[in-house]
Amino acid sequence: MEAERRIGVAVDFSPCSRAALKWAVDNVARKGDHLILVIVRPEQVYEHGEMQLWGVTGSPLIPLVEFSDVHIMNKYEVKPDPETVDIITTAASQKEITVLVKIYWGDAREKIIEAVDKIPLSFLVMGNRGLGKLKRAIMGSVSNYVVNNAHCPVTVVKSDA
């Protein structure tokens, strides 16, 4: 029997991350897999006790039904776009995969690496914003950092967007 696969997809609801999600669903996900959307929000000061805890550890793993609920996502300050929700709900039913969401707050580079190690992920798919050489040199590339520091295979999907 094969070990349970946990496929992570870094999602920020941009066209690039939707392309990466679609690529992961079409090319990697198969029956019985866990597809885990890794979302990293900017670090903020939260007054609620739960949010302070989640700022350190990330949210608990959130099932797809809760991710589709607007009220629950408002609690996490995440606004999933309808196209992303459609991709994952279709994938969950057609491919018979379990979709979960993990939300982190802070630096995307560090938190994606944390997700790879703590969940742990078997495989990670992420989009590429397509920064030019100058912007990438100044701002740094999240995908480049993750590829060089993750302890699992990483696929970077380049989008035409």
Q: For the segment 20-51, what is each residue's pLDDT rounded down to a tens digit?
A: 999 999 999 999 999 999 999 987 766 655 66
Q: For residue 67, give the nearest of 91, 94, 95, 33 by alpha carbon.
A: 91
CATH classification of 6-158 is 3.40.50.620, yes or no? Answer: yes
Rounded Cα distance between 78 and 12, Å, is 10
Give me the sheet containing 6-10, strands edge to edge. Answer: 62-63, 98-105, 34-41, 6-10, 123-128, 154-158
pLDDT class of 54 with cuts at 50, 70, 90: confident
pLDDT at site 72: 85
Rounded Cα distance between 59 and 39, Å, is 10
pLDDT at site 1: 41
pLDDT digits (tens, 9 = 90+) for 55-100: 778 999 999 999 888 888 888 888 999 999 999 999 999 999 999 9
| Structure token digits, residue 12 | 């920020």
Residue 13 DSSP label: S
pLDDT at site 2: 56
**CA 146 and chain centroid, separation:** 13
pLDDT at site 4: 85
pLDDT class of 52 with cuts at 50, 70, 90: low
pLDDT digits (tens, 9 = 90+) for 87-143: 999 999 999 999 999 999 999 999 999 999 999 999 999 998 755 555 545 445 898
pLDDT digits (tens, 9 = 90+) for 16-25: 999 999 999 9
pLDDT at site 155: 96
